[in-house]
Structure 1
Amino acid sequence: MMHSDQVSVDVDVARQMIFDQFPRYRFEQIEQLDAVGTVNAIFRIGSEAAARFPLRMGDPILCARMLANEAAAMAELAEHCPFPTPRPVGLGRPGPAYPMPWAVQTWIAGDVATPDGLAGSRTFARDLATLIASLRAADTRGRHFDGHGRGGDLPDHDDWIVVCFEKSEGLLDVARLRRLWARLRELPRPGFLVMSHRDLIPPNLLVRGEHLVGVLDGGGFGPADPALDLVAAWHLLDHEERKTVRSHLESSEIEWRRGAAWAFQQAMGLVWYYERTNPGMSALGRSTLQRLLDDPDI
């Protein structure tokens, strides 16, 4: 169990709920994916769709509203994303064996990206830069950052980072990381917002060969700090390939450092929180923090 409030759902429960509420899939094979995701249990439905069951217990009404908002964001992302991305199919209702709303979306084929798999690929780096540039070009339509998660003001995350430092004693070089955060958190805020995926971690990117072929989990697509999607460069690329992304996007020094700051904020929470329950996510946090510490420009 990754979370203290985690909801249990297995393939038998998912199969019954999918067949009952989406009868069009009644003759499809249902397969639980062994993914490193931390928000949803994901079940593949044949070759065309996937069901996502939230893993953490919450108010079903609020959850249904959240899933509807995510579906709208996914549809908007699909309009601007230059790579395949899932589209919403429908929302499922709670049932006797699973108490929360859930969602069905289209299936995108590909291999989940890894922190080291294409770290030295300039081709992949260019694809990432193309993705980020395309999302930035979407119209914010006057919307503002919603105040949730990453993408607003860096100092707003000080309390969380302090918790992460305390939990990471004995796991990481906390003294050195404290000094790095003290510098990163003081970077000036951006003067404008752009549309952002807002969670470009490896599990949300699909690859084939050296190319990006799919972008997942687009339910957070919305206005944010232009530097936020740069976390992908720190999670996935070595130094020279990160320079390719920066050059393509013409990122200023401040913007580039803010991207590093958001990657730091995300990675600090992964190492200790998932140390025992999700080793893959914990390892991602470690590798990203090491890239930040090793980078001569940061």
Structure 2
Amino acid sequence: METLNKERTWLPRLGPLLPRQIPEPVHAGTPAPEFPLPWSIYRWIDGTEVSSKAVQDWATFGTDLATFVHELHNIDLMGAARSGELSWYRGGTLKGCEQDISAFFGDCRATEDSGLDVETLEQLWRTAIELPEPSSSHVWLHGDLRPANLLAAKGRLHAVIDFGCLSVGFPAAEHAPVWDLPDPARQAYWNATNIDDLTWIQARAWAIAVGISGISDYRNIWPAFVTDCRTRLEAILTDAATR
């Protein structure tokens, strides 16, 4: 119910201030015998899930996504604060989830048989959590900008959907899903955002954390997502070896 409340409250305020379409809630339903959970209706947005077939120019796409993130992060908080329904662990600090992520690394070391270099990934993660914690101001966060939550039209970013993780917090984790995109998009994104080295290293650590926990949590129940997580982690390893 908290997700429905925050989306109904904040999306109509954020939408007019953003350079791409986002969901527009038009009705919030209540539980009933026919469907015993809260539900909602959103205005339809045309578009195609982001993929190599839907995007012709990945560098332009990366710049478009960076522009969206920049605009979202620069919207006034309008009195919103990091508490209750606007609190989301990816907007906090890396140290805050160190214990959980360490357990996921342990699980993957014990069970991972795909050749994934878990040791190097954990070293990159450890390097990040030893750095100073973020001191930047809190900003609005989408919370889950992976390709499944992005829509393309005419080869470019058209809309950003699924604001169920909308929150207020530190920005580093917001950049993590760029490792789900091809290298030209990632490089264009970095160039457009001009992220400092500290934030970039923290963003990479968040990308590792989500990927390693995804493999551990969904290994036997969501194979497609596990494949996505492995692909992300391999991209991080390749990037780390060349950057």
- TM-score of the superposed pair, with normalisation by structure 2: 0.86
- Secondary structure, aligned partner of 2:89: coil
Closer, same or farther in 2 for the Cα pair 1:293/1:237, shift >3 Å?
Answer: same
User: By how many angstroms is 1:245 displaced?
Assistant: 1.2
Alignment partner for residue 210 of structure 1, among 130, 155, 164? 155
Deviations 1:101-145 (CA, angstroms, capped at 9, x unpaired): 111111111111248975971111111111111112201235443
Q: Paired residue for 1:226?
A: 171
Query: Structure 1 residues 109, 93: closer, same or farther in 2, change over 3 A?
Result: same
Alignment of 1:1-298 (within 5 A): 63=1, 65-114=2-51, 118=55, 121-141=58-78, 143-146=80-83, 147-168=87-108, 169-171=110-112, 172-191=116-135, 192-238=137-183, 240-296=184-240
Partners of 1:253 and 1:120 in 2: how far apart?
Answer: 26
Rounded Cα–Cα distance in structure 2 between residues aligned with 1:188 and 1:117: 39
Q: 1:145 to 1:102 in 2, by over 3 A?
A: same
Pick the structure with more helix per residue: 2
Q: 1:131 to 1:190 in 2, by over 3 A?
A: same
Deviation of 1:95 after TM superposition, in Å, equals 2.3
- Alpha-carbon distance in structure 1 between the residues aligned to 2:221 and 2:57: 29
Larger Rg: 1
TM-aligned CA distance change 1:117 to 1:141, over 3 Å = same
Cα distance change, pair 114–255 in 1 and its aligned pair in 2 (3 A): same
* 1:91 partner letter: A
Give the RMSD, CA atoms, in angstroms: 2.4
Structure 1 residues 120 and 255 mapped into 2: Cα distance closer, same or farther (>3 Å)?
farther
Quote how far apart the aligned CAs of 1:280 are: 2.2
Q: Distance in 2 between matches of 1:256 and 1:167?
A: 26
Structure 2 CA distance, aligned partners of 1:90 and 1:84?
A: 18
Rounded Cα–Cα distance in structure 1 between residues aligned with 2:118 and 2:53: 24
> What is the Cα deviation at residue 223 of structure 1?
2.2
Number of residue pairs matched by the alignment: 234
Q: TM-score, normalised by structure 1?
A: 0.71
- Is the 1:120–1:237 contact (alpha carbons within 8 Å) kept by the matching residues of 2? no
Change over 3 Å in CA distance of 1:148–1:125 after alignment to 2: closer
> How has the CA–CA distance of structure 1 residues 199 and 164 changed in structure 2, closer, same or farther, with 3 Å as cutoff?
same
Q: What stretches of structure 2 of length at least 5 have no aligned partner? A: none
CA distance in 2, matches of 1:119, 1:199: 23
SS in 2 for 1:218: coil
What letter corresponds to residue 205 of structure 1 in structure 2?
L
Q: Which amino acid aligns with 2:126?
A: A
| Structure with more contact order per residue of length (Cα contacts < 8 Å, sep ≥ 6) | 2
Bigger Cα displacement from structure 2, 266-275 vs 198-207:
266-275
